Amino acid sequence: MELLAPAGSMDKLKMALLYGADAVYLGGKSFGLRAFSDNFSLEEMKEAVSYAHSLGKHIYVTVNIFPHNADLQGLPAYLQSLAAIPVDAILIADPGIFSMARQLVPELPIHISTQANTTNWASVKFWHDNGAKRVVMAREVSLKDVQEIHDKVPVELEGFVHGAMCISYSGRCLLSNYFTQNRDSNRGQCVQCCRFKYNIVEEKRPGQYFPVVEDERGTYIFNSKDLCLLPYLPELYASGLCSLKIEGRMKSIHYVATVVKVYRQALDAYEVDPEHFTVLPEWLEELEKISHRPYTRGFSVSRPTEVDQVYSHASNTQTYEFIGVVRSYDAARHIAWIEQRNHFKVGQAVEFLQPQGHLVRHVITYLTDEKGTEITTAPHPRQLVGLYLDTPLEPWSMMRRKAAAHA
């Protein structure tokens, strides 16, 4: 089973691979559906592919917009550049781009994006017969249907297991385009209108806003909970999926590291002893520490109902704050060198999530700046701070503390 993680930047890519992902998917500066993430230039993609391949891992690039005529002008050269790097596969949703890729870069494996809303075995067979290596299932497909597709078509199947859920069918949304003057969700510029709070305005009474009340909890009628299928890992294996996909190219490195490590541990535990596999409470606790909405199982084993929406608020919640990244550990002096990402100080209780090792909890007793001068606080962004700690820490460990509301 492949664990596939998002990479919205080089830091996130490295974090995903170091914390246990087998592959990452990323977007270029154009032709992908996450225009507001950092994304990768062609030169950065070369670096990313070289780094991933040095670890025996893979890079998949999204080319999954629904293009207008003008979008096609630079596409042939872009596809040829991706093949030359070479990336390991491209994700495509549009039949025109698919046809162009098959003609121009037939050696480049194609994965059919979830945006193509593939929901049945006949559609999967169509893509397979025309040369697709893998099909990413629409999020509306149940695991029972995935299993039937797997039994009928000899093609790789990939499915989302964790992250934000789009309210529109397979992510095909017109709201962003309509409300924000050509910020087209299907061309990578979604502004998440589904998370807005809505009221009704009657035509002859402009300026008078009437609340939309679905029930007593509120009015965020398009605000889906986040997907979490960790408790259904045995069912995911049984369905015939070959790759489990995490959403979140625009999420933080803390999000990527935490989710990847939890699913890595769970997959490893299942594959060692599937008969006695159980979801550990500490895994679920870790998934509560990241920024997220309440969790849902989506369409995996049943149809969503009203309980799968969040009615009270549009923002995410999290129990821990990400405050630093470990750059190195000086074993002789017992000093961990931390790149500051949020204010921290002496006396605070913190913990370190390591790429491979166990979780380390610590109360800060001593800090120093780069020159060796003792300090009591680390207030400056990206400041390099020495922290005294007896336990050695791995580079790229995540430093965090309880959020104020949960302290």
Give the pLDDT confidence of 358-382 residue by residue, as tens digits.
Answer: 999 999 999 999 999 999 999 999 9
Distance CA 96, CA 301 (A): 33
Distance CA 155, CA 176 (A): 34
Q: Are strands 2-6 and 23-27 parallel, antiparallel or unpaired?
A: parallel
In the chain, pLDDT over 90 holds for what percent of residues? 70
Q: Please report the pLDDT score of residue 243 as a whole number.
A: 98
Record the tokens describing residue 145, joined without a space.
């249907």
Q: Please report the pLDDT score of residue 172 as a whole number.
A: 67
Q: Please report the pLDDT score of residue 185 as a whole number.
A: 64
Distance CA 224, CA 283 (A): 23
> Could you give the angle at the alpha carbon of 123 between the alpha carbons of 222 and 92, nearest 5°?
70
Where in 217-359 does DSSP place strands (E)?
226-228, 243-246, 295-296, 320-330, 335-340, 344-345, 349-353
Distance CA 207, CA 150 (A): 54
Looking at domain 320-406, which of 3.40.50.1820, 2.40.10.10, 2.40.30.10, 1.10.8.50 is its CATH number?
2.40.30.10
What's the Rg (C-alpha) of the chain?
23
Record the tokens describing residue 400, joined without a space.
């965090």
Residue in the block written with tokens 């996130």: 12
* Confidence grade of residue 214 (pLDDT, cut at 50, 70, 90): low
pLDDT in tens, 30-71: 776 555 556 899 999 999 999 999 999 999 999 998 888 988
Q: Please report the pLDDT score of residue 182 as a whole number.
A: 66
* Confidence grade of residue 294 (pLDDT, cut at 50, 70, 90): confident
pLDDT in tens, 172-201: 666 767 666 666 666 666 777 766 777 788
Distance of CA 390 to the CA centre of its chain: 33
Q: Cβ(85)–Cβ(58) under 8 Å?
A: no
Q: Indicate the domain borders of the chain.
A: 2-171+223-308, 320-406
pLDDT in tens, 106-147: 999 999 999 999 999 999 999 999 999 999 999 999 999 999
Task: Say which residue, 296 or 54, is predicted with more confidence.
Answer: 54
* Confidence grade of residue 246 (pLDDT, cut at 50, 70, 90): very high
Record the tokens describing residue 63, joined without a space.
């080319």
59 contacts: CB under 8 Å, gap ≥ 6: 23, 24, 25, 26, 45, 48, 49, 52, 53, 87, 88
DSSP helix/strand/coil, 308: helix
Distance CA 39, CA 27 (A): 5
pLDDT of 236 higher than 60: yes
pLDDT in tens, 138-182: 999 999 999 999 999 999 999 999 998 777 666 666 676 766 666
How high is the mean pLDDT of the chain?
90
Distances (CA, A) of 161 to 164, 244, 263, 280, 300: 10, 6, 10, 17, 9
Q: Please report the pLDDT score of residue 161 as a whole number.
A: 97
Q: Please report the pLDDT score of residue 258 as a whole number.
A: 97
182 contacts: CB under 8 Å, gap ≥ 6: none
Most confident of 180-194, 306-320, 392-406: 392-406
> Could you give the angle at the alpha carbon of 398 between the alpha carbons of 397 and 400, nearest 5°?
145
Tell me the fold of 2-171+223-308. TIM Barrel (3.20.20)
Q: Please report the pLDDT score of residue 30 as a whole number.
A: 78
Neighbours of 373 (CB within 10 A): 9
Distance CA 238, CA 226 (A): 23
Q: Please report the pLDDT score of residue 39 as a whole number.
A: 82
Task: Say which residue, 304 or 35, is predicted with more confidence.
Answer: 304
pLDDT in tens, 322-342: 999 999 999 999 999 999 999
Q: Please report the pLDDT score of residue 198 as a whole number.
A: 72
Entry pTM: 0.86
Distance CA 110, CA 113 (A): 9
Q: Please report the pLDDT score of residue 166 as a whole number.
A: 74
pLDDT of 207 higher than 90: no
